[in-house]
Amino acid sequence: ETGVTQSPTHLIKTRGQQVTLRCSSQSGHNTVSWYQQALGQGPQFIFQYYREEENGRGNFPPRFSGLQFPNYSSELNVNALELDDSALYLCASSPNPGGNTEAFFGQGTRLTVV
């Protein structure tokens, strides 16, 4: 079975631009969560998608938005990029939301905003 894959691996954007990050969930997983990991910090929860619906959101502004597709892959969109958005963005998939299920993480997308 394939794991969680994210694209691109690295990205450089200019302040004010928009960016789309992509995530393919592990086979059989219907839940995708996105996390932001700033340098030297632990990952912080952005939002979760379950069966194409947003299923929980962390303390991030509305310019962070997402989608989940029928094949359970997902996108994270960030509008009006700010310098502080520079971080490693991690996608995690799991067989179902919450509980004791393990979240499997991708390798992340390193976003640099200049």
Partner 1 sequence: AQSVTQLGSHVSVSEGALVLLRCNYSSSVPPYLFWYVQYPNQGLQLLLKYTTGATLVKGINGFEAEFKKSETSFHLTKPSAHMSDAAEYFCAVRASFGNEKLTFGTGTRLTIIP
Confirm or reject binding of residue 55 to partner 1 (CB under 8 A).
Answer: yes
Tell which one of 24, 25, 49, 50 touches partner 1 (CB under 8 A): 50
**Is there a contact between 85 and 77 (Cβ–Cβ < 8 Å)?**
no
Closest to 93 in 3D by CA, of 21, 47, 26: 26
Query: Restricting to residues 56-75, which ones interact with partner 1 according to CB under 8 A?
Result: 56, 58
At residue 105, the 3 state secondary structure works out as strand
**Is there a contact between 56 and 68 (Cβ–Cβ < 8 Å)?**
no
Tell which one of 42, 62, 70, 84 touches partner 1 (CB under 8 A): 42
Sites of contact with partner 1 (CB under 8 A): 4, 6, 33, 35, 40-45, 48, 50, 55-56, 58, 90, 92, 97-100, 102-108, 110
